[in-house]
A and B are shown apart, each in its own frame.
Chain A
């Protein structure tokens, strides 16, 4: 009893702050989406804001789009981080430099990277100039703000790769050499070693990476604002536009609650699905 109390006391400052803030945000957002806690008028419980938003096409498109970016970016980042983490499992000449390079995006603010990227791929940017001078393209190609959001995905993957890499390297480095050698000794080639030994033994870290990246990418504002397709919003850009252009705090709260729900359930669903897929791959 005294022990439990002591542990709670130790946890209170850190966990307390986090919990207080999360519950405050949740409380305000959920209340506002139901017309309560209203900044611009009477506070009355109402389903009207949800009904209005759920009736809008751009809301559903934004939800779909954010989910698509989050799933694609997290899967790609993890898929790219795995081989690098495995390659860097054992030190070699230049491995430190390589591992520092992978982590470099952590130092560059996302917005800066997005502007740089848009510059590079713009109509008169380096990429177009290069392709033209090499004679590969006859005329400049419009690459910026592509309608599939490839630019945003590329930026997301670039920005999120370090997280996937850090999580996966820790897991991969914890694999005992002898266990991998044993698999090899018993007839497993590189692919079989990966799917039968590495993947199941690092699945926890992979899930953590997927969840983190999914949540980061689902809530993206800056990449979408700078490099995203003009015809569609992400949930975050939709939220600001609903609030700032229409002054609709309650509508924005509906989007905010949707974004939190997507982060929570979407990332969980992805993590569970991918775990299931690795089980199948194990054979």
Chain B
């Protein structure tokens, strides 16, 4: 994407702001996406994900900011002429049209000939294993099938950018994992750029090349899934992605003064800090540094691990311990946290 020697991202949003009356839903969001990249907008309900997606689709006009696709200003272009296609949370299939006609809607609208339309639709029906349902109306399909029709319908216009708004939220857990894998495989094969909205951190971690973590209308952190998970920058990020133990502490010359006594961490901050470590990083038994002890308050067996809540130094800490061992409430437990697993996070963004 070299344009006259300067590098231009495929999709670039700059300082996007959106105000509904007095409520600021987006407060200056900037991000870019490269061609073929899978970007996830992750955040709690109401943080502005759908608003941002609707702005990219063209359904909403931002109150400020710039948006370009392939270097061209996107904002004056109406949604019907943007090179993007949306997969809606509710699927939004046309209830009066058969599966085949639903998929054919976009290509027909773009003025393709009947033979071109038929070829494209047949290809997609085959790819999505929908051949047997081509003549059915949407309400005769299962949720998973409707989901695939929605995806096929979006892909039928051959969009450079596909927008997903929580596409899996209406599926049951098992199907969700399966469709998630299918979407990613399809995206790799077809090569479209994906902007994928979800509030489900597991989905975001599994799917994304890059995650934009949105909170209260701002991007709190942006990065590859592993970076976001292991190097959260704020208390919110640490807490939202996975589980985290967060405790107030004072950092001084590499040592951390905490409610549990002195700990050694990987952080470089000084002064009042919030220390953070993931429950699965705890190891049973004492060690040379960062040894802690407490009383088990509750535990829950999860299969791959056991969630154990421990009262230590007046704080509740959470451990996720692999194996089949039982942890009974009231039992004394000693454990340690490797220094590399302890980081510090900011209490707020910016």
Contacts and interface: CB of A to CB of B under 8 A. Distances in A.
Please indicate whether A and B come from the same complex rather than being unrelated chains: yes
Interface of A: 176, 178-179, 181-189, 192, 196-197, 200-201, 283
Contacts of B59: 181, 184-185
Q: How large is the interface on B (under 10, 10 to 19, 20 to 34, 35 or more residues)?
A: 20 to 34
Nearest to A179: B92
A185 B94 contact: no
Nearest to A181: B59
A191 to B, nearest CB: 11
23 contacts: A176-B92, A179-B92, A181-B57, A181-B59, A181-B79, A182-B86, A182-B88, A183-B94, A184-B79, A185-B58, A185-B80, A185-B85, A186-B80, A186-B109, A186-B157, A187-B157, A188-B80, A189-B80, A196-B105, A197-B94, A200-B96, A201-B95, A283-B108
B153 A186 contact: yes
Contact of A186 (B58, B78, B90, B105): B105
Interface in B49-101: 57-59, 78-81, 84-86, 88-90, 92-96
A210 to B, nearest CB: 19
Contact of B79 (A178, A179, A185): A185
Interface string B103-119: 00110111000000000
Interface of B: 57-59, 78-81, 84-86, 88-90, 92-96, 105-106, 108-110, 153, 157
Contacts of B92: 176, 178-179, 181-182
Nearest to B84: A185
Contacts of A183: 94, 105
A13 B157 CA distance: 57
Contacts of B93: 179, 182
A185 B90 contact: no
Among A186, A200, A201: residue with most chain B CB under 10 A: A186
B94 A187 contact: no
A56 B192 CA distance: 74
A151 to B, nearest CB: 39
